[in-house]
Amino acid sequence: MARGKIRALLGRMPPLLLCDPAAVFAAVPYAKRLRARVVISVQALQRAPDQSFPHAFTAAGYTGFIRMLNNPRVQERPPMAEVCADTVRRLAPLGRALAIHDTTEMVFGGEARRDGLGRLHAHTQGFLAHTCLAVEADGHRGPVGVLTLEAVVRAETPFTDKGSLNRYDDPLRESQRWHRGVRAAERALGRAGVLLHLFDREADDYLLLLQMKDEHCAFIVRQRVDRVLSCDLVTDAVRTVRALVHTTAVPVVGRAVSISRRSKKRPPDQLKRHPARDAREARLEVEAMAVAVQRPKPLDRALAPSVALNVVHVREVDVPEGQEPVDWWLWTSEPIDTPEQVLQIVDWYCARWVVEEFFKALKTGCRYEDRQLESFEALWIALALLLPIATRLLQLRHAARETPTRDAREILPTDAIEVLRASGRCRLPEMPNAHEILLAVAAMGGHIKSNGPPGWLVLWRGMHDLEMQLVGWRAARAMSEATSRGKGDP
């Protein structure tokens, strides 16, 4: 059978249902040879995401990769837009999705200063990667991909009046990235009412809350500090939101949630905000009510004097000795009329941890901070190429560990499951679930079941081997079908 006919048949067959990193960049608007170099580079990085660039490529491939990073056309237009557009495409079937906003430090070592990077700590350089990660809003919490990403590069010299009130309205202050992130995510998706924006405490800002209310954006924001009630709610006995909730709100039905482990090996400022803890199942009580809060005094008096919000308080009961209790105060635009609605808000906020796992996929699975590139421009292009790979790493890990009963066909197409069954590495039942499928993929990558859950890279190796075998499987089947219809070559 002619090769062209085989390629045409393969092109009509469904791809793997996970993110396909190379396909993300297949239509990047560069010249043909430059576009091909981008795709070839991503394919090489896919084979070994944890290896250094020189080890991931052949000698010629590494030379071409470095030239591509330094190409003026690529530096003028890094392929970040293709990453976000791919996420938008995969969000299309979803009626609701979580947009998780968070910022992580990208820290690069070495004594030599790298062009374009800024100050992070006293002796480190890098930038802040402000990310909006799209996640399924159903109970699976499956990662979809990066919806927006912004780099914040700090000045070499810190602001001398960092704590003064006159910086509160400064349009250049770092906290403005939360406002930009919401608008960019809504603009990228182009469909109102789909995204529910999730934020941790750093985003608790009156301006952000007011903006999202005015623009009809759905949100859940964790409180950083208690806030003063609007003037009509303040009494001699009750002045703040938390005091009002403590004296008025009635707890709804409790809920048990899994609390993730926090490592001690983190920067001191992160440990101060989020102390180390062990993983555990926490029993929670939840209460909620509608409130209105005052505009902070330093803000422009032209802004609305108050904003109406719903507040949900989540507190842990029967806390293990020596552990810091869960105590969340959440601002939200979502309704709280029934216990089911209140508990749904808690469940949605619990999905915020997925973005932390995504950062691990970038920093551990793809070793982004270990990349020895000499400029911010080259690092930013490399980040764009690694984002879909990190997304796929996270999807594999998530499917294997967090969605054990999910239909296997939501993870892989039927013919990929047939290849796994034929490989004989792992016995599969007649109707396998996602967990069983991913264990079979891990076995193909060399995982031994008695060693515990599969890690990032063994899943990745197994998936790479599966895709290579699947190409041959589909080609053989296409040739067989064409021959049986009498259309094969003599």
Residue 103 bridge partners (DSSP)? 130
Q: Of how many residues is the chain composed?
A: 490
Supply angle C-alpha 94, 100, 106, rounded to 5. Answer: 130
Q: What is the dihedral of CA 207, 212, 215, 219, to 10 degrees?
A: 180
Say if residue 435's pLDDT is above 80.
no
For each of the domains in the chain, give its residue range(s) and CATH number, in order of start. Answer: 97-160+195-359 (3.90.350.10)
Instruction: Name which of 368, 387, 394, 388 is nearest 457 in CA terms.
Output: 394
pLDDT tens by residue, 380-404: 999 999 999 999 888 887 877 766 6
User: Whole-angstrom Cα distance, residue 286 to residue 410?
Assistant: 33
Name all contacts of 463-472 with Cβ < 8 Å and 24+ positions apart: 463/16, 463/18, 463/392, 463/396, 464/46, 464/47, 466/416, 466/419, 466/420, 466/441, 467/16, 469/419, 469/423, 470/16, 470/415, 470/416, 470/419, 471/10
Contacts of 7 (CB under 8 A, 6+ apart): none
- What sign for the dihedral angle of Cα 331, 337, 339, 344? negative
For the cut 60, the answer to whether the pLDDT of residue 355 exceeds it is: yes
The reported pLDDT for the residue numbered 17 is 57
Who wins on pLDDT, 314 or 258?
314
Q: What does the DSSP 8-state code read for residue 18?
A: S
What gap in Å lies between CA 79 and CA 392, rounded to an integer? 18
What is the reported pLDDT for 488?
Answer: 53
Q: How far is Cα 349 from Cα 222, in angstroms, rounded to an integer? A: 9
The per-residue pLDDT for range 14-50, each reduced to its tens digit, is 333 578 899 999 999 999 999 999 999 999 998 888 8
Quick: pLDDT tens for 110-131. Answer: 778 889 998 887 778 999 999 9
Measured CA to CA, the distance from residue 372 to residue 52 in angstroms comes to: 8
Q: Which amino acid is at 355?
A: V
* DSSP type of residue 25: T
> Taking the CA atoms of the chain, what radius of gyration do you get in angstroms?
25
List 258's β-bridge partners, or say none: 281
* Cα separation, 430 vs 416, whole angstroms: 14
Q: What is the pLDDT of residue 194?
A: 95
CA atoms of 139 and 346, how far apart (whole Å): 12
Three-state DSSP at 471 gives: helix
Can you tell me the distance from the alpha carbon of 363 to that of 383, in angstroms, rounded to the nearest whole number? 11
Give dist(CA 110, CA 22) in Å, integer: 31
360 phi, psi to nearest 5 deg: -65, -40
Residue 418 reports pLDDT greater than 60? yes
Low-confidence winner among 99-108, 199-208, 209-218, 405-414 (lowest mean pLDDT): 405-414
Kindly write down the DSSP assignment for every residue of 174-188, as one continuous string.
TTHHHHHHHHHHHHH
Picking from 154-158, 197-201, 271-275, 303-307, which range would have the lowest pLDDT averaged per residue? 271-275
The CA angle 71-73-77, to the nearest 5 degrees, is 120
DSSP letter for 367, please: -
Of 150, 153, 143, 152, nearest to 100 (Cα)?
143
**β-strand 306-317 against 327-332: which pairing, if any?**
antiparallel
Q: Are 9 and 471 in contact (CB under 8 A)?
A: no
DSSP state of 114: P
Chain position carrying tokens 């976000």: 84
pLDDT recorded at residue 5: 42
Can you tell me the distance from the alpha carbon of 20 to that of 23, in angstroms, rounded to the nearest whole number?
5
DSSP 363: I
Task: State the average pLDDT over residues 204-209.
Answer: 93
Summarize pLDDT for 309-353 with one digit per residue, the tens.
Answer: 999 999 888 888 877 888 899 999 999 999 999 999 999 999 999
The answer to whether the beta carbons of residues 390 and 358 sit under 8 Å apart is yes
Using CA of residue 325, residue 329, residue 335, residue 336, what is the dihedral sign?
positive
pLDDT at 267: 63
Q: How far apart are CA 213 and CA 159, in angstroms?
A: 31
Other C-beta atoms lying within 10 Å of the C-beta of residue 475: 16
Q: What is the pLDDT of residue 6?
A: 37
Burial of 285 (0-12, 13-18, 19+ CB in 10 A): middle
Ramachandran region, residue 62 (left: φ > 0; alpha: ψ -120 to 50; beta: rest): alpha
DSSP label of 460: H
Give the three-class secondary structure for 398: helix
pLDDT above 50 for 2: no
Tokens of 440: 């079979």
Least confident of 80-84, 96-100, 262-266: 262-266
Comparing CA positions, the residue from 417, 470, 415 lying closest to residue 439 is 417
- Give the Cα separation of 80 and 100 in Å (integer): 18
Q: What is the pLDDT of residue 33?
A: 95
